[in-house]
Structure 1
């Protein structure tokens, strides 16, 4: 059996993870576009998925998303231009800036959360609620183990 055939029949964790991520992103961003957010792309999730409603520091967004601070800065610039976030002085540290969602950003965040909840509910219905809960628990444990092993950057 050729390697590509074997990987197709018995995908490893990397292939399963990437297939899941890319499929989830396609559906999420297509549905967001239908709901009034057509300008966003999956790369913007490195900011929007981790952004607190009251604002977050770019360094925190970089750490949470696993992206370099320069990448986050570029994404924030794009999101400012698109009207989803703004930079404000951090009241706790005048030298720092907070990335704060605008009304459009808050709408996106709420819609994104609702869409993802619907997607998860559909998966739970398809495989069974307990099986899906067990899957998420194990997947979280594998993810945490991978992150703590130092192999992830």
Structure 2
């Protein structure tokens, strides 16, 4: 029987393996500068855009920490700052076509990675892992606050 501490480490190792493989493939597909934190930040910005404060809250980090990540994403061409149509005093962060492409590519790559797991483990086992995790994971949404949770 496995020790209790092994479960979170195995779950994290599986997550880390998927994320590392994702980023290696993203680099091959023209996005060599994308880091895991950037992916979470782009998810926090979303297709509708968000303010820096909203991004910080969604990531579970300070506005300043979110701002540093957004500054880097802007420098890399993944995010732009635009006037907020609802409030002229506020800037809205929005994904650029490059940012949208990196997220679309990520979705494709995750599908490929899942298919690899199916090949290696079998469809029944992968579906069992997914359904088992859905049973024990609370909430209907997937959190993007991993950067803040780890700090």
TM-score (norm 1): 0.74
Match of 2:145 in 1: none
Correspondence 1:132 to 2:126: no
Aligned match for 1:101, one of 86, 95, 106: 95
* Structure 1 residues without counterparts, runs of 5 or longer: 1-5, 145-151
Match of 1:147 in 2: none
Residues 142 and 92 of structure 1, relative CA distance in 2, 3 Å threshold: closer
Match of 1:26 in 2: 20
* Structure 2 residues without counterparts, runs of 5 or longer: 142-148
Aligned-partner Cα distance in 2 for 1:52–1:82: 17
CA contact (8 A) 1:46 1:72 kept: no
Aligned-partner Cα distance in 1 for 2:52–2:64: 9
Q: Which moved more, 1:55-64 or 1:67-76?
A: 55-64
Question: How far is the alpha carbon of 1:101 from its aligned partner?
Answer: 1.0
Question: How far is the alpha carbon of 1:68 from its aligned partner?
Answer: 2.3
CA contact (8 A) 1:87 1:97 kept: yes
Query: Which secondary structure does the structure 1 equivalent of 2:45 belong to?
Result: coil
CA contact (8 A) 1:123 1:132 kept: no
Aligned-partner Cα distance in 2 for 1:52–1:142: 19
- Larger relative contact order (C-alpha < 8 A, sep ≥ 6)? 2
Match of 2:42 in 1: 48
Question: How far is the alpha carbon of 1:109 from its aligned partner?
Answer: 1.1
Q: Which moved more, 1:82-91 or 1:131-140?
A: 131-140
Match of 1:69 in 2: 63
Residues 123 and 138 of structure 1, relative CA distance in 2, 3 Å threshold: farther
Could you list the structure 1 runs, at least 4 aligned residues long, displaced by more than 4 angstroms after superposition.
Answer: none
Residues 53 and 136 of structure 1, relative CA distance in 2, 3 Å threshold: same
